[in-house]
């Protein structure tokens, strides 16, 4: 029997709701055909945005949305996306499929989308091919409440009041698609560009410097040493790639070895966050600078027959487990991880939503975000797993369970648990060490008949959330059996 001790007496910081953020790039059908269908579309829309997507994202309390890239950000020129839509400049989206980008979704459309979602915009500025002045002007155009020429231009384009813009990224992957710089080169460029990312009026920008990916620790070291005092956040990208970058593997056709490898690699997020965090601790022991994991998720081969540059992949129960495990890791490291963004919201990589014309579905990953939204802005509670069973495959083993816990403002203790083993249910005892919060208990569950289960437009409810049954409670102890290959939420009222 596995026992999970939950320390309810000494909360360990706040799990920022921004850990539950998302990312929408001008890539494939994330924006065009996904979120943005246009005001004249027969697809139900709200000011051009697909209404079904708005409703779904509001239900999971989307806290922020990163835009316009990704790699696209460092070739995006914001002025191209202003004015009458049919007169906007047409460019080639050279990173993603070589398609023509008509810029019909620009600054006003994005900020409108965030207002409709009631979420914080997180804009990535262009360092790779943009100028300091271009970046400075964008921030002024967005946020200046005075009588400057740029503020007047914004008003002439239909927006009177300045927008609130908190999160601003100074470039993206500048070690690669954002300009192929060395860490020292970028640190110098970052210091210069960020100087001109100004605060206008009441607006206070949280500046995010481009960070590293995976295990590239020297980038973090250099950035913290050479530019740490000029940033509020430092980004980190980590994708779960089952195979190699050349042959990543299918999203839906896989065997248990692939399931195991995928989860083993997803679990490495813990080590990556710890190692980058330890470097940051040397320069910032008070953990003021946030580690901003603004791209994470699974990356598989594209679905057969789709444009390789569009990164369209299906989403199975395996993706749900990757999401559950990763979000538990972020919760556990909420002292350093202040924000994260799953890549990407619609039709790209580990999407929450898939669309085809008017058709629309929620992926297994979406249902995990729905379960986990209870952690947003809650107090993290420490957990200790005793007698943790291992999930063994061949000669290798990983933990069978992943867990995190928090206490909401109404006193409810929420515990999210993943059972990584594809064939073994696991009985678990939750013990609230320190007492408290042993009111009524309820639970929800995401699981499905097979590892490969996924939702299609013909069968959109193969993987959904349902009630977690069989919970028994005695004072501060709850016993539950977690089904094989599942993600669960147990809520204990205060």
- What residues are annotated to the active site? 173, 295
| Total chain residues near ligand AHR (CB under 6 A) | 10
Q: How far is the CB of 239 from ligand AHR (least distance, A)?
A: 7
Token look-up 């998720």 returns: 297
DSSP 279-341: HHHHH-TT--SEEEEEEEEE--PPPTTS-GGG-----BHHHHHHHHHHHHHHHHTTTTEEEEE
- Going from the C-alpha of 2 to that of each of 6, 58, 401, 470, the distances in angstroms are 13, 36, 9, 16
Part of the chain binding ligand AHR (CB under 6 A), chosen from 98-106, 125-133, 218-226, 343-351? 343-351
Closest distance to ligand AHR from the beta carbon of 237 (Å): 6
The number of beta carbons lying within 10 Å of the beta carbon of residue 117 is: 21
Which residue stretch of 52-60, 64-72, 110-118, 420-428 sits at the interface with ligand AHR (rule: CB under 6 A)?
64-72
Q: By CB under 6 A, is residue 71 in contact with ligand AHR? A: yes
Helix (H, G, I), strand (E, B) or coil at 398: strand
Q: What is the DSSP string of 196-228?
A: T----TT---EEEEEEEETT-HHHHHHHHHHHG
343 binds ligand AHR (CB under 6 A): yes
Q: Minimum distance from CB of 210 to ligand AHR (Å)?
A: 10
Assess 319 for contact with ligand AHR (CB under 6 A). Answer: no
In the bound state with ligand AHR, the residue whose beta carbon lies nearer, of 224 and 343, is 343
User: C-beta of 263: minimal distance to ligand AHR in Å?
Assistant: 21
Decide: is 171 part of the binding site for ligand AHR (CB under 6 A): no
H/E element, 94: none
Q: Is 25 in the site for ligand AHR (CB under 6 A)?
A: yes
The residue within the footprint of ligand AHR, chosen from 33, 34, 63, 70 (CB under 6 A), is 70
CA atoms of 67 and 65, how far apart (whole Å): 7
Instruction: Give me the 231-270 binding string for ligand AHR, x by CB under 6 A, dash otherwise.
Output: ----------------------------------------
Angle of helix 183-195 versus helix 132-143 axis, rounded to 10: 40
Considering only 295, 301, 319, 370, the residue that binds ligand AHR (CB under 6 A) is: 295
> What are the tokens at 447?
């699981």
Query: Is there binding between residue 75 and ligand AHR (CB under 6 A)?
Result: no
Contact residues for ligand AHR (CB under 6 A)?
A: 25, 69-71, 172-173, 295, 343-344, 349
């Amino acid at each position: 029997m596995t026992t999970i001790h939950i320390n309810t007496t000494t909360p360990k910081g706040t799990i920022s709701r921004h850990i539950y953020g998302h990312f929408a790039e001008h890539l494939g059908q994330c924006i065009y055909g996904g979120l943005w269908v246009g005001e004249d579309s027969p697809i139900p829309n709200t000011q051009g945005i697909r209404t079904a997507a708005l409703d779904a994202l509001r239900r999971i309390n989307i806290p922020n949305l990163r835009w316009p890239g990704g790699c696209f950000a460092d070739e995006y020129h914001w002025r191209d996306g202003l004015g009458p839509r049919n007169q906007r400049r047409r460019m080639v989206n050279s990173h993603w499929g070589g398609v023509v980008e008509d810029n019909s979704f620009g600054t006003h459309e994005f900020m409108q989308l965030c207002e409709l979602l009631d979420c914080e915009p997180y804009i990535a500025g262009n360092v790779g091919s943009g100028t300091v002045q271009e970046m400075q002007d964008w921030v002024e155009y967005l946020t200046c409440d005075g009588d400057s020429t740029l503020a007047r231009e914004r008003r002439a384009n239909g927006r009177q009041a300045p927008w609130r813009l908190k999160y601003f990224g100074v470039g993206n992957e500048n070690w690669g698609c954002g300009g192929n710089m060395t860490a020292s080169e970028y640190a110098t460029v970052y210091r210069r560009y960020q100087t001109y990312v100004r605060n206008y009026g009441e607006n206070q920008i949280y500046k995010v410097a481009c960070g590293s990916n995976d295990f590239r620790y020297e980038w973090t070291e250099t950035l913290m040493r050479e530019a740490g005092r000029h940033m509020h956040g430092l980004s980190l990208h980590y994708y779960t790639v089952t195979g190699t970058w050349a042959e990543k593997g299918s999203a839906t056709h896989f065997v248990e070895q692939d399931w195991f490898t995928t989860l083993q690699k997803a679990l490495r997020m813990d080590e990556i966050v710890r190692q980058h965090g330890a470097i940051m601790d040397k320069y910032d022991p008070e953990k003021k600078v946030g580690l901003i994991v603004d791209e994470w998720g699974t990356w598989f081969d594209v679905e057969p027959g789709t444009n390789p540059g569009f990164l369209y992949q299906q989403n199975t129960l395996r993706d749900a487990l990757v999401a559950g495990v990763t979000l538990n890791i972020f919760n556990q490291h909420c002292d350093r991880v202040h924000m994260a963004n799953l890549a990407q919201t619609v039709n790209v990589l580990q999407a929450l939503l898939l669309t085809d014309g008017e058709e629309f579905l929620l992926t297994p990953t979406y249902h995990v975000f729905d379960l986990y939204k209870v952690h947003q802005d809650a107090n993290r509670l420490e957990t200790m797993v005793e007698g943790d069973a291992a999930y063994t495959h061949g000669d290798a083993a990983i933990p069978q369970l992943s867990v995190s816990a928090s206490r909401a403002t109404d006193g409810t203790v929420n515990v999210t648990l993943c059972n990584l083993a594809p064939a073994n249910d696991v009985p678990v005892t939750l013990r609230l060490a320190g007492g408290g919060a042993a009111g009524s208990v309820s639970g929800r569950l995401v699981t499905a008949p097979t590892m490969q289960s996924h939702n299609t437009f013909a069968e959109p409810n193969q993987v959904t959330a349902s009630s977690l049954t069989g919970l028994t409670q005695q004072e501060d102890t709850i016993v539950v059996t977690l089904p094989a290959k599942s993600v669960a939420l147990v809520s204990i009222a205060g």
